Structure 1
Amino acid sequence: MRAAILFCLLLSAPAFADEGADRHQKKAMATAPVEQTAAGDVYGTPMPDPMPTAVSIDAVAGNVSEYAGKPGAFSGRVTEVCQNSGCWVVLTGENGRYARVNMHDHSFGVPRNTSGPVVVYGTLIEKKLSADEIGHLEKEGAKPAQETELQIDAVSVLIPKSA
């Protein structure tokens, strides 16, 4: 009986070993805009109406406690994008401060060639990353991540039209 249980566990081990290892292949992500507005293409869900004034990442980084844990609009320049599926971007301010923007529940992505100014709507947190999370991000094209970083759980991303 023990041998049969052990045999079953050994056969099922590969299924559990991959659990959560590659979220990108488990869930199909929408990478098309949900709406095209006069301001640009919106990914995820439509932006709130009326849209709150976007706060720059530099301002947020200078006063995290004022913005953390509440939905808001944030602005900056996209300097990195997940090269697997566009499920995260790095939003950088003019002073080099940044926040990693994760697309809510991996439910959508942005084009992998996204760059330049964007506005995101979501909730800001400060997060300590594990060594596994840092390694995962680096596999997706991230520059070496800091152990603690600002993150935004984005429900909407507005990529403005080029001038």
Structure 2
Amino acid sequence: MKKFALILSVVLSTTVFAQETAKKMGPPEGKALAGETYGAQVSAKAEQNAITPAKLDKKLKAAKKVDQVAVKGKVTDVCEKKGCWLTVETENNEKFFVKMKDYAFFVPTALKGKEVLLEGSAETKVISVDEQKHYAEDAKKPQAEIDAITKPQEEIRFVANGIKVLK
């Protein structure tokens, strides 16, 4: 019985500690300076063959998914809770959503407004109302804007292996 009580108290203590640590975690610290990389190292080949978001959009109209692609763009938003997603603006002022591959790395909020090079894969997906509302809440959008989300939406989703700050 004493062993059971000891094991139970260790498990409960560990669980509570893990939850408290997770609550305190936010995006990583950092200034997102030119040349910094998050996630996997962005290859030299990717830098040479990078395309614009508009060209990515054209490729995705031909095929629903594009693997091993590099895209340059300006970061317009970063998840303020963990730094686990960001949005990138296209030349025609549209935006696409970027997640980190396998949730393996996060980015600092200082990445907002920076020009970046993304390396990874992209696809066109239909995003549910619940998922849209979740990300709107993460972005601390006004409640009225969150409540206005009422139907699924098709959008470009980019899964980044690595992100390099250009300027």
TM-score, structure 2 normalization: 0.68
- Which of 102, 125, 131 does residue 127 from structure 1 map onto? 125
Aligned residues: 132
> What is the correspondence of 1:49-88 to structure 2 with a 5 Å cutoff?
49-51=44-46, 52-64=48-60, 65=62, 68-88=65-85
Cα pair 2:39 2:163 within 8 Å, conserved: yes
CA–CA separation in structure 2 for the residues paired with 1:67 and 1:57? 15
Cα pair 1:32 1:43 within 8 Å, conserved: no
Cα shift at 1:127? 1.1
Identify, as 1 or 2, the structure richer in helix: 2
CA–CA separation in structure 1 for the residues paired with 2:40 and 2:58? 28
CA–CA separation in structure 2 for the residues paired with 1:47 and 1:63? 21
SS of equivalent residue, structure 2 residue 110:
coil
> What is the correspondence of 1:12-23 to structure 2 with a 5 Å cutoff?
none
Between stretches 136-145 and 104-113, larger displacement belongs to 136-145
Structure 2: any 5+ residue segments left out of the alignment? 1-21
Cα shift at 1:135? 1.1
* Letter aligned with residue 41 of structure 2: P
RMSD: 2.7
CA–CA separation in structure 1 for the residues paired with 2:123 and 2:140? 19
Runs of 4+ aligned residues of structure 1 deviating over 2 Å after TM superposition are 28-33, 48-52, 65-69, 142-146
Task: Give the corresponding residue for 2:114.
Answer: 116
Cα pair 1:57 1:97 within 8 Å, conserved: no
1:95 aligns with 2:92: yes
Percent of residue pairs identical: 25
Cα shift at 1:67? 8.0
CA–CA separation in structure 1 for the residues paired with 2:140 and 2:57? 20
SS of equivalent residue, structure 1 residue 133:
helix
* Letter aligned with residue 157 of structure 1: I
CA–CA separation in structure 1 for the residues paired with 2:120 and 2:54? 17
- Which of 36, 42, 48 does residue 47 from structure 1 map onto? 42
TM-score, structure 1 normalization: 0.69
